[in-house]
Structure 1
Amino acid sequence: MNRTTSLARLQNELFDICIIGAGASGAGCALDAVLRGYKVALIDKKDFASETSSRSTKLIHGGVRYLEQAFKKLDFAQLKQVRHGLEERHIVLKNAPHLARPLALMTPVSSWIEGLYFKIGLSLYDTFATNDTLPKSKWLSKKEVLEKIPTLDRKKLHSGVLYYDGQLDDARYCLALAQSASENGAAVANYVEVNGFEKEENGKVNAVRAKDAISGNAITIRTKLVINCTGPFSDHVRLMANAALSERLRPSKGVHLSLPYHTLNSEYAMLIPKTSDGRVVFAIPFEGATMIGTTDTECDEINREPTLNHAEREYLAATLNPYLAKPIDPKEIRAGFGGLRPLLAADPSKSTKSLVRDHEVEVDEASGLISLLGGKWTTYRLMAKDTLDEADKVLGDAKDCRTADYVLAGGENYRAKSWQDIQAKYALPEDISRHLVLKYGSRAPQVALLAQEDNALKERLSPHYPYIRAEVVYTVRNEMVVAPRDFLARRIRLEITDWNETLNSLPVVADLMARELSWTDEEKTRYADAYAEEIGKFISDAR
């Protein structure tokens, strides 16, 4: 992906479809649209997946909680959501095998009655997953549970129910969607902020007015159709196109915190079925850390980045502590992050916890704007398909969706053991070789080659992690990294697992980016200082 080339195309070409928002839904729509033969533009006011789509619990699932609510409340909308999620789960796993994989989740129980309840529920969950090959749920003995998660409190533990869902690196999966769209002809650019629309005499939108957030230059994108995929910010774009529309979204804030891997000391994740507010919470191994989340609170301040605060930190720790032999030491908390769910609310009296994570495609007859509202990561592809089916109707040309079997960038000819080839050919340590293959898939040799050509690029960014300097150079050249946070938060995920090491790595990352992007010393200092200030705020908010 070349940002300069894309910006020139955005300014000078006529597009069939311009998609605003390059999160999971927008990037998914861009890939679907370009595979249908449309001429597509994809833009985002920040980086790819910079908001909700990089701040999930990293699960590909139908939703165990939704299934429970469906039967308890006879809520068939929840049941439909579970079915859709489980139907899509195997596609998400299959289409990017380097970025998504099966995940074993343990549900600890304190009595045989509780164990029977969860075994029946998770067996029902299994029956809805008809299209994949994940193992079925099992009821395990206390001994078997402790063999898999040795840090649990054996005194309170009776047994456990094991089941399987999927896990993904959400930010990089979204990037792979955007890359795939770009490689199939879409004009893709980050840091392009929309500030208005131009319309024909009949009121239909025919151009997007925007600004390059890096240079400040104005851009006018001429297009036959606009699709709004801005998640929790969708109402802002809808009202920009048609001020007469009513607001549709009820954003909800969810936060996660990151602890050392030894908190669970396991590659098994854990579902905590009992919380003080009636939700379920997950503790999941991710990138060498144990990640705990999520919360659910009403959020009205959507223009301010959601962060982990002290009360949320205490809530999550208090939720996990009863299951651990040794309680969490607050000093061990390494990082945290927050995100906004774009929940659809027909009934304003309902709490956000009771709202279904379903989606809706809205076509505004007055402006012609199509908005994809609601939804969740697991069903991104179905959401995009529904949206492009509506776009077909508007543009008058029904076309087949081809995304179900499309292998994403980096997944081509992927082999899980190809890290051994990287290790042997490029003389890189095992942990670095494994990391490169899991992040870049079949394109990992391109990163390794940079390190081979320049020994300085073989060096680690942090002695505690497998990230190397060559990745900075590669991502600037190939993945449209524009700012240090793009790299540290979304390309390698260090920001969400370890704030201190993010700060320690920042000077080297800024130096390498300055060299690649021809920054002046003043520009380098400005980028680095601004990001360090952001991390400092995150640390302060969590105290």
Structure 2
Amino acid sequence: MSEQSQRTDKHNDHGAANAPVGSGDPVSASKLGPDERERNWERLGSETFDVVIIGGGVVGAGAALDAVTRGLSVALIEARDIASGTSSRSSKLFHGGLRYLEMFEFGLVKEALAERELMLTKICPHLAKPVSFLYPLSKPVIERPYVAAGLIMYDTMGGARSVPRHKHLTRAGALRMVPAMKKDALVGGIRYYDGQVDDARHTLAVARTAAAYGAVVRTSTQVVEFVKEADRITGVKVRDVENGKETTVKGRVVINATGVWTDELQRLSGGRGRFKVRASKGVHLVVPRDKIPSESGIILKTEKSVLFVIPWKSHWIVGTTDTDWNLDLAHPAATKADIDYILDHVNTVLATPLTHADIEGVYAGLRPLLAGESEQSSKLSREHAVARVAPGLVAIAGGKYTTYRVMGADAVEAAAEDLPGRVNPSCTQDIPLIGADGYTALVNQADRLASEHGVHPYRVRHLLDRYGSRIHELFELAAQHPGEDGAPSPLLQPIAGAPEYLLAEALYAVTHEGALHLEDVLARRTRISIETSHRGTESAQQVAELIAPVLGWDAATTKEEIDGYIARVAAERKSQTEPDDESADEVRLQAPEIRDLLVSPVA
């Protein structure tokens, strides 16, 4: 039997091991509940994997899916939570990057547009949706042909396949579309389309799809040491952050996909990297939808970068900033200066200015940019780099969220040099994420589903855009907790303080989606932490008490989770009143760390 056949057989065995006993459905292996977590710990310590991937962001998850669907055995390890870093704090767009045309990065734009098309049509149509933007023109005559030339190129390179082509508007037409704008802020406009996604849920879907095909996916699992034989990396020593247990994970090749932690992890391996990663902080504000009357998003050029006003359900996301960050990588803090910068720039075009009182949520994320090309972070390349930094160790960094699938494939290609035998080509361009299969038909059946389960049709459509065809698992979970006298399940009631979400979603987060802490549910499985003015504090107790039995929490642990979350929100609020990064970072770090990570270069 060939090496490749052995790997493929091993992969098939993994899929069977991860599926429920007697199940003939390999996709059922995507469940990431407490039982699967225990089983995966045993697998980490007892098997030798073709590929061990460190980092549960979108690139790490994408690499795991790419590798496992090539027939390789895969372990994906994350110290915190899936998408707990950059991949839950982006602008939430699948976009070509219109501004990169001005930097002559045509290859990056074309690649990103191709990926955007795949996401909208094949890979995750339940999660990715078209979104329109108005580009307001402020200068008569000269600006329109210049911007139009860029948008013609954008459309020609692949931007107008499943979305409409750009459209020119007069000032009156632009104001009808975006009545929120000042009349003197534009002389006309051009409307174009990009794609939008809930980044945290998408990253989770990628990771769960990798699990469905046989990958071991485990969070709260921190790499504390690299294992070597002579000069070769042969695995990693990991620690379960929740209970302190340690084990060694053997791997034929290790991929470092830790984003802004790339350099720290490289130092832990004892080697020198082939490139440096520079963290750039991006801050976004969330405001209610009625604060900006508009039928479309808005894109504005600033002196440093671009500013987006992005429709987000019953809210707007406004951002972003682009500044160097050299402090705590796990909890980047937004400052009053960051918030004022965004408000000042967006208010130059709004007839009714936004104020601090209008802000529901604030979040800050770090872009992992390749360093060394420019002193200005906004001009650093968003193209990615892959390097075999040592025998058995590959690193990947840079890039942008939209091109995660290409990055994952490139990382596995580089890792293949350390694997015996032939490795199959990447096929993720043809692999829909869990929930995509049957999604369109279910949208057409939304009224029937609503009637069957006693919920409003708009609620079903909302759930379909978050879970796709996995909505059936959500309803099955609710059915296990029936209401009294034939009433609908209490799990189909809204979460306290967060009417857009159901209690079933919070429970599903821990039974199927790997959430281990209250913060995981409120900040990533749902987006309650940024979509409500209380930022989740009014939901914390109800959600914590709901998930406590599944996670084995006693009363003291439940209280600790609630208190810890409330302290996190308080620290974030206070940090957002501080004038600079240093003081904001100091305040933010006063909140307790909910995961017991060791103090190390990758903690």
User: Do they fold alike, i.e. is TM over 0.5?
Assistant: yes
Distance between the aligned counterparts of 2:329 and 2:410, measured in 1? Answer: 28
For 1:74, the equivalent position in structure 2 comes to: none
Between the aligned partners of 2:341 and 2:361, the Cα distance in structure 1 is 15
Match of 1:122 among 151, 156, 160: 151
Q: Deviations over 1:205-232 (max 9, x none)?
A: 1121111111111121111110000000
Amino acid in structure 2 at the alignment position of 1:35: T
1:41-63 Cα deviation digits (max 9, x unpaired): 00100100100011110111111
Letter matched to residue 337 of structure 2: A
My pick for the range that moved more, 136-145 or 99-108, is 136-145
Partner Cα separation in structure 2 for residue 303 and residue 158 of structure 1: 42
* 1:371 corresponds to: 395
Alignment-mate amino acid for residue 465 of structure 2: L
SS of 1:215's partner is coil
Q: Which amino acid aligns with 2:424?
A: K
Q: Is the 8 A contact 1:285 1:291 kept in 2?
A: yes
Whether 2:186 is the aligned partner of 1:157: answer yes
The letter of the residue matching 1:221 is: V
Find the partner of 1:441 among 468, 489, 493.
468
Q: Counterpart in 2 of 1:184? A: 213
CA contact (8 A) 1:106 1:162 kept: yes
Q: How many residues align?
A: 531
- Alignment partner of 2:538: what SS? helix
Question: What residue number does 2:366 align with?
Answer: 340
For residue 480 of structure 1, the aligned residue among 511, 514, 525 is 514
Following superposition of structure 1 onto structure 2, how do residues 457-476 of structure 1 map, counting pairs within 5 Å? 457-462=491-496, 465-476=499-510
Residues 219 and 265 of structure 1: CA distance in aligned 2, closer, same or farther (over 3 Å): farther
| Contact persistence 1:462–1:501 (CA under 8 A) | no
User: How far has the Cα of 1:402 moved from its partner?
Assistant: 0.8
- Alpha-carbon distance, 1:243 to partner: 3.5
CA contact (8 A) 1:431 1:466 kept: no
- Alpha-carbon distance between aligned partners in 2 of 1:312 and 1:245, rounded to the nearest angstrom: 32
Residue 409 (str. 1) matches residue 434 (str. 2): yes
Equivalent AA in structure 2 for residue 382 of structure 1: V
Name the amino acid aligned to 1:18: V
SS of alignment partner, residue 322 of structure 1? coil
> What residue number does 2:446 align with?
419
**Separation in 1, partners of 2:357, 2:182:** 21
Map 1:85-484 to 2 at 5 A.
Answer: 85-94=112-121, 95-113=123-141, 114-129=143-158, 132-201=161-230, 203-245=231-273, 248-273=276-301, 275=302, 277-347=303-373, 350-365=375-390, 367-396=391-420, 397-415=422-440, 416-452=443-479, 453-454=481-482, 455-462=489-496, 465-484=499-518
Which of 91-100 and 261-270 deviates more? Answer: 261-270
Is the Cα contact below 8 Å between 2:51 and 2:74 reproduced in 1?
yes
Contact between 1:238 and 1:369, CA under 8 Å: does it hold in 2? no
Inter-partner Cα distance in structure 2 for 1:434 and 1:246 = 47
Q: 1:130 to 1:51 in 2, by over 3 A?
A: closer
29-38 or 463-472, larger mean C-alpha shift:
463-472
Render the CA deviation track for 1:91-131: whole Å, top value 9, x for unaligned: 12230111101111111122432233222221121111178
Over 3 Å counting, the alpha-carbon distance change for 1:87 and 1:131 in structure 2 is: farther
Which TM-score applies when normalising by structure 2?
Answer: 0.85
Matching residue of 2:524? 490
Residues 1:504 and 2:528 are matched in the alignment: no
> What's the CA shift string for 1:494-529, capped at 9, x where partnerless?
112225051111111100111221211111111111
Cα displacement (A) at 1:449:
3.5
Distance in 1 separating the partners of 2:178 and 2:449: 31
Equivalent position of 1:42 in the other structure: 76
Q: Is the 8 A contact 1:422 1:448 kept in 2?
A: no
1:175 and 1:119 mapped to 2: Cα distance? 37
- Is this contact kept in 2: 1:21–1:230, CA < 8 A? yes
Moved more, 349-358 or 330-339: 349-358
SS in 2 for 1:448: helix
Distance 2:314 2:160 in 1: 31
Residue correspondence of structure 1 range 16-31 to structure 2 within 5 A: 16-31=50-65
Return the letter of the residue paired with 1:497: E
Contact 1:307-1:538 within 8 A present in 2 as well: yes
Pair 1:525 & 2:550 matched = no
Secondary structure of 2:471's match? helix
Cα deviation code 1:51-77 (max 9, x no counterpart): 00111101111111111222xxxxxxx
Separation (CA, whole Å) in 2 of partners of 1:375 and 1:304: 19
Q: Please provide the CA RMSD for this pair.
A: 1.7
Asked if the contact 1:269–1:282 (Cα under 8 Å) also holds between the matched residues in 2, the reply is yes
C-alpha distance in structure 2 between counterparts of 1:462 and 1:40, whole Å: 39
| Matches of 1:370 and 1:150, distance apart in 2 | 51
CA distance in 2, matches of 1:343, 1:534: 27
How many Å separate the matches in 1 of 2:369 and 2:363? 19
Query: Aligned partners of 2:88 and 2:330: how far apart in 1?
Result: 16
CA contact (8 A) 2:96 2:159 kept: no
* CA deviation map 1:144-166 (0-9, x unaligned): 22332221222433221100111
- The amino acid across from 1:362 in the alignment is A
Q: Normalising by structure 1, what TM-score?
A: 0.94
Q: Relative to 1, partners in 2 of residues 1:406 and 1:371: Cα closer, same or farther, differing over 3 Å?
A: same
TM superposition shift of 1:530: 0.9
1:404-440 Cα deviation digits (max 9, x unpaired):
0111011111123343233121111233222211111
| Offset, 1:398 | 3.0
2 CA distance for matches of 1:20 and 1:493? 25
Secondary structure in 2 aligned to 1:199?
strand
Distance, in Å, in 1 between the alignment partners of 2:239 and 2:408 is: 26
Q: 1:497 to 1:466 in 2, by over 3 A?
A: closer
**2:329 aligns to what SS in structure 1?**
coil
